Amino acid sequence: MAGTAGETPELIKVHSGAVEVPYDWHCGPYWSRFFRGLRDEKKIYATKCPSCGRVYIPPREVCGPCFARMDEWVEVGPEGVIEMFTVVRLPYTNPSTGEPLSVPYTDVYVRLDGADTSLMHWLDETDEKKIAVGMRVRAVFRDKRTGTMHDIEHFKLI
Amino acid sequence: MARRTAIVGIGQTYHCARRDDVNGQELINEAVTRALEDAGLTMKDIDAIVIGNMDHFEAINYVDGWSVDGSGAFMRPIMKLTTGGTSGMTVATAGYYHVASGFFDVVLAIGWEMNSSSDTTAAITTCCQPLIERDFFAGAIGPLAAEYTAYIKRFGATEEDAALVSVRDHNNALNNPHAHLRTRITVEDVMKSPVLCYPIKLLDMCPRSDGACALIYACEGKAEKLAPRPAWVHTIAGSRDFVYMGEPFQHEELITLERASARAYKRAGITDPLKEIDVMELYLPASTTGVKWMESLWVCGRGEAPRLIREGVFNMDGQLPVNPSGGPLATNPIGATAMIRVGEAALQIMGKAGDRQVPNVRTALATAFGSCSWSDVTILRDTKP
Ligand SMILES: [Zn+2]
């Protein structure tokens, strides 16, 4: 063994350094139409199940509970209701960039008018005393849009 | 018809925030060695191995391969499974399936995690769809915190109700020599601790632990010889739901736990879980879940959990003790956390839980929770199914 009597042998730890692995993610026809709606029309499109009638946001091909294919598109929002929220104060690393995230920010789950599921996004208010479940909010679109979730800058209280 | 199968050995490592003194393989070996000792077996007696963790926490893949020397898998069949937070119970379930199927008589199941290898919240966040939700998802804490705002609004629950759960689990951990956090706390301590994600505060949330757990499953005919009081598996049930975080149609409930526990109770012939179950070891990642998820376990009606918690029904001296071990709020090596629930439930059946033993346990329930929002349930008894 390394180390002599009376000494604690050194335990070595190795740090990986910043690891960057680039990925390509495919959106497919449903998300692509959703992102094109945000980018080109400032509209939020959802899909409706022919079997149970639920309106899904984000849109997708299959209703999981019914295992049914959805072909009907409907517009939802841009206003809705806060279903739940949290003000994030815990600092952690953004896994997409490796950079520390700046806190606080507010995650909000918005039940957009006409939808049966909620869209997760940011709210432009970080004082929890000013936010309540059930409050109405509205999507704020960016002027410069590129076809991502961030074409909506955030939601604001109305 | 499945073969009757029981847990006959449980091994847990020393759990703490940083196990700088071992590497992954050595940590796994510590749990395996202890499980073998507990069952009075050697590696020669093991027919097959199942192992699992969350690879992205350590960023080293294929633990089934690189841990072979330490896990004991040299020239044995080994299968690796990973399902997020539920991994430990998925691995335990597979251990049970290996024996119950009749293919193997004695099987070792291993869950482990070296959480200190990475920023756990960042790693967990990679479970979230990167194009749609990842940027709005603050690890495990964000959605759990948000869910509780909906529950508070609907049922008038309070942050103090959650704090009572935190106090119960932290103080129970004082009786558990394997617990990572062993500090007596009060409701005031919880309420004054820093907010992580409103309304969840530091002492409402599970820690990040390094550690491992191993279980040994044996078939009828061998189990009775290996353990004076084996913990017989009566049923295992699991449910999965949504793809997106905004998905559950009712955020106040945990629908996967409702469905999984209802199925498990039916199979085990349980009609009144509050009366018929003697102890529960629940995967409660946050104290808030120890309020709202009790309703999803059918021990009370909607919105009634806060009252039962204030009355102490789930305390060590209450009608249905929950988390005598301290649960995940005290110890959370994630890939092992759910397996520890099964192991602690088994210890309660076997009468080997030491200072945290609940008297006369004949039926014990363990749960697992994973992203998102997945639930598994295991029911163990001292009698054969
Ligand atoms: Zn449907």
pLDDT at A83 over 60: yes
- Which one of 3.40.190.170, 3.40.50.1240, 3.10.180.10, 3.40.47.10 gives the CATH number of domain B5-121+209-231? 3.40.47.10
Chain centroid to CA A88: 14
Beta bridge partners of A74: A46
Angle (CA) B233-B211-B138 rounded to 5° is 95
Tokens of A137: 């909010």
Tokens of B40: 């009075």
From-to residues of CATH 3.40.47.10 in chain B: 5-121+209-231, 141-206+234-381
**ipTM of this predicted structure:** 0.89
- pLDDT > 70: percent of chain A: 95
pLDDT at A2 over 50: no
User: Alpha-carbon Rg of chain A, whole angstroms?
Assistant: 22
pLDDT-derived band at A1 (thresholds 50, 70, 90) equals very low
Parts of chain B with a pLDDT under 50: none
- The predicted structure's pLDDT at residue A85: 95
pLDDT in tens, A107-153: 999 999 999 999 999 999 999 999 999 999 999 999 999 999 999 99
Average pLDDT over residues A39-61: 97
Give the C-alpha separation, B332 to B283, whole Å. 10
CA distances from B253 to A33, B84, B151, B258 (A): 32, 20, 8, 8
- Show residues of chain B in contact with A93, CB under 8 Å: 119, 121-122
Which residue type does B138 have? Answer: A
Instruction: Search chain B and give the residue with CA nearest A25.
Output: B131
**In this complex, do B122 and A92 lie within 8 Å of one another by their Cβ atoms?**
yes
Give the C-alpha separation, B126 to B121, whole Å. 9
Look over chain B and give the mean of its residue pLDDT values, rounded to a whole number. Answer: 95
How many angstroms does the Cα of residue B178 sit away from the middle of ligand 1?
46
Contacts of A109 (CB under 8 A, 6+ apart): A82, A83, A84, A85, A118, A119, A120, B146, B245, B246, B251
pLDDT in tens, B333-351: 999 999 999 999 999 999 9
Give the C-alpha separation, B250 to B245, whole Å. 12
Which CATH number applies to B141-206+234-381?
A: 3.40.47.10
- The predicted structure's pLDDT at residue B67: 95
Average pLDDT over residues A42-60: 97
- The predicted structure's pLDDT at residue A5: 60
Contacts of B101 (CB under 8 A, 6+ apart): B2, B3
Look over chain A and give the mean of its residue pLDDT values, rounded to a whole number. Answer: 91
- Show residues of chain B in contact with A64, CB under 8 Å: 241-243
- The predicted structure's pLDDT at residue B31: 98
Which residues numbered 42-101 in A keep a CB inside 8 Å of some CB on B?
57-58, 60, 64, 83-90, 92-96
Which residues numbered 103-132 in A keep a CB inside 8 Å of some CB on B?
107, 109-110, 116-122, 128, 132
Give the C-alpha separation, B330 to B25, whole Å. 24
pLDDT at A28 over 90: yes
pLDDT in tens, A66-82: 999 999 999 999 999 99
pLDDT in tens, B58-110: 888 899 999 999 999 999 999 999 998 999 999 999 999 999 999 999 999 99
Which residue type does B174 have? Answer: L
- The predicted structure's pLDDT at residue B1: 67
